Chain A
Amino acid sequence: MVAVVEDLNARLRGFESLRERAAGEPEWLQRRRRPALERFFALGIPTVKNEEYKYTNLSALPQVEFFDAPPAADTSAAAYRGLGGFTLRFDSGRLAAADGEVPQGVSVRSIAERLRNDPDGLESLLGACAAFEDHALAARNTACFEDGAVIEVAPGAVVEEPIHLVFAAASAVSNARVLIAAGRNSQVRVIESYIGAGKYWTNAVTEVYAGENAVVEHYRAQLESVEAFHTGCFQAVQERASKVSTFSLSFGAAVARNDINTRLNGEGCECALDGLYAVKGGQHVDHHTAIDHVMPHCNSHQLYKGVLDGSATGVFNGKIFVRRNAQKTDAIQNNKNLLLSDKADINTKPQLEIDANDVRCTHGATIGQLDAAALFYMQSRGIDVERARNLLTYAFAADALERIRLEPLRTHFENLLLRTFADKTEDRQGVTEWRP
């Protein structure tokens, strides 16, 4: 027992700087951070013995702390010029640059700055959605984050221009933190991009609070270095008749784990959780989704598509809870995978827990290879076999991008997709024509 306490103390000393910083923070935040840190130490980095991490090995994470800072990320392309909107760049989770104009009706600020200057109103939001009792990595982020973005949308405000948050890795460990609070009847679109070079760990938490009738469109482009670790936790709480959509594009990182959870707290909510992952070499990507249907008359829709090449591995685990009260729930879940090599592998598992009797829940999972008949058909028309493979792969994956309503972002993702599949003749003209 004594040894355990000493060990804990020793580890806490490693987080000494946290305490110093926390001393200047509002009381309520300190009260939130301390249990988070303790919870993190109690749970520890999840191991493969934990059922939720059975196929995702994070055992290398504790060592990442001791890595040298990674080389600077190339942030030049990361602003996605052409998408419009307002961009904030964070280096290792700390605000580094801003670009463009903040659109009308929304406030976009650094969390650190907001905490320093006017922390009022944050108490009920920051750390309120992202539960960490059972989630060591969210606990760690809550204990450690220094900065991040807080996006507050005024009631009734319809913000068309996207708000773009770029998280560039600049130290061994980055804690990225985002809070989106959409007031009643408001609408907002937020893009998060994750980039970096070399070896590092990004541990991100995004909290979304969607007020009554609010519409939150959220996109996440995980384009970390292929040597990096990325763990990301998205947690939404939805009030009556709100709509939340989140799209996860996951191309980067050696090991990526995305937890995407939403709680449908009022009647008539809709949520759409979608994603596309494309991995090769020895990459590993894991999406764990959980939708909590608490109230009646809510819809949830999920489509995750994945392309796995080389000896890449993937996990999809989709939980849907339908509570006793949640009658007339309509939940659809789909996970479709394309394996481009014999060595690639995916573990896909739907997990439905239904306690209401008048509901419609469907789920499906497929794992397939490229269609040999289609490949031959294309070859028989003169198309190079490699090109044919790329075209078919692109067609499979681009279908998932149809879920993206923000047109310029979809085009941007389509181009990323083309590059990922090593298209020799990158042909933007063709991209637009591909769309049915």
Chain B
Amino acid sequence: MLEIKDLHVSIEGRAILKGIDLSVGEGEVHAVMGPNGSGKSTLASVLAGREGYEVTSGAVTYKGRDLLETAPEIRAREGVFMAFQYPVEIPGVTNMYFLREALNAVRKHRGEEELSAGEFLKVVREKIGPLQMDRSMLKRAVNEGFSGGEKKRNEIFQMSILEPALAILDETDSGLDIDALKIVAAGVNGLRSANRSFVVVTHYQRLLNYIVPDYVHVLADGRIVKSGGKSLALELEEKGYGWTEETAANPQPVGV
């Protein structure tokens, strides 16, 4: 599904990612953990195609195609979805309109019929239930005036509407209380399937109690310094990130 090979990324000439290797197979859930500033969002943003990042070396393939050469909207239509750490407010464009526009762009790309407002409403009714979102959020401008938790829920709602093949969740747990966290996790778990992969980026182990990963990677100073199974997350919780930073000084390749 996704192959990242020796990815180096700079922002304004400063190296942020310093050789990332990551392979995500179909249906797998990978957690990427790391302290603040380790480059988690940078990795997610580069995968989604945000501007302002310079890939100095390395390659990323998605479904066998060069992802980095693909425009962000095409990536999205091909099934890449990033849930933003900081979802953006779009005054004047309602959530409902925005989502239909997005879904129809994706459907058109797949050669499917675009949905009318009525048909789209059916899809929305079906998907909104599990997320326990207030219906009024659909009529409001995208993320405008939403609380932190509402914004995160809205990201997952968008994901469930667009049904991506690869979902990258950037700190979807931050700012959520435990009830909201459970709802969001249930939303994600409901989308897990044999042909859908997830990269779950998080600072805390907490989320991984609810979204149980197949693999855990630890990012420190732009490198993956440790990879392992789900138990690695617990180990990390116990020992803290300091434990991995020692390793980061002398990085050793670790097999998954």
Contact = CB atoms under 8 A, between A and B. Distances in A.
A398 B94 CA distance: 13
A394 B141 CA distance: 13
Nearest to B88: A377
A433 interface: yes
Contacts of A396: 92
A201 to B, nearest CB: 35
Contacts of B50: 376, 380
A379 B70 CA distance: 12
Interface string A386-404: 0100011011101100000
Main SS of the interface on chain A? helix
Interface in B90-121: 90-94, 96-103, 105-106, 109, 116-117
B190 to A, nearest CB: 20
Interface in A359-402: 371-374, 376-385, 387, 391-392, 394-396, 398-399
Nearest to B93: A395
A382 B88 contact: no
B89 to A, nearest CB: 8
A241 B89 CA distance: 40
Contacts of B84: 377, 380
A436 B94 contact: yes
B49 interface: yes
Contacts of B85: none
B94 A434 contact: yes
A430 interface: yes
Contacts of A435: 94
Given A376-B72, A433-B117, A436-B140, A383 B101 contact: yes
Nearest to A387: B101
A387 B103 CA distance: 14
Contacts of A395: 90-93, 141
B91 A383 contact: no
A376 B51 contact: yes
A429 interface: yes
A79 to B, nearest CB: 29
A433 B142 CA distance: 13
Nearest to B99: A381
B76 interface: yes
Contacts of B100: 430, 433
B72 A380 contact: yes
B162 interface: yes
Interface in B67-92: 71-73, 75-77, 81-82, 84, 87-92
Interface in A402-436: 429-430, 433-436
A382 B76 contact: yes
B109 A382 contact: yes
Most chain A C-beta atoms within 10 Å of own C-beta, residue among B50, B77, B88, B94: B88
Interface residues of A, number: 28
Contacts of B89: 374
A5 to B, nearest CB: 59
Interface string B4-21: 000000000000000000
B188 interface: no
Contacts of B87: 377
B6 to A, nearest CB: 25
A436 B96 CA distance: 10
A381 B102 contact: yes
Nearest to B105: A382
B51 A392 contact: no
B92 A434 contact: yes
B117 to A, nearest CB: 5
A430 B99 CA distance: 11
Nearest to A435: B94
B106 A378 contact: no
A430 B97 CA distance: 7
Nearest to B86: A373
B105 A384 contact: yes
Most chain B C-beta atoms within 10 Å of own C-beta, residue among A378, A380, A383, A392: A380
A429 B104 CA distance: 14
Given A382-B105, A395-B141, A430-B101, 11 more contacts: A374-B88, A377-B87, A379-B49, A380-B48, A380-B50, A380-B73, A381-B76, A382-B76, A392-B90, A430-B100, A434-B97
Interface of A: 371-374, 376-385, 387, 391-392, 394-396, 398-399, 429-430, 433-436
Closest 7 pairs between A and B when the two form their complex, measured CB to CB: A395-B92, A382-B76, A381-B102, A377-B88, A382-B105, A379-B72, A379-B73
22 contacts: A374-B88, A378-B90, A379-B71, A379-B72, A380-B76, A381-B102, A382-B102, A382-B103, A382-B162, A383-B105, A384-B105, A385-B73, A387-B105, A394-B92, A395-B92, A395-B141, A398-B92, A399-B92, A429-B117, A433-B94, A433-B117, A436-B139
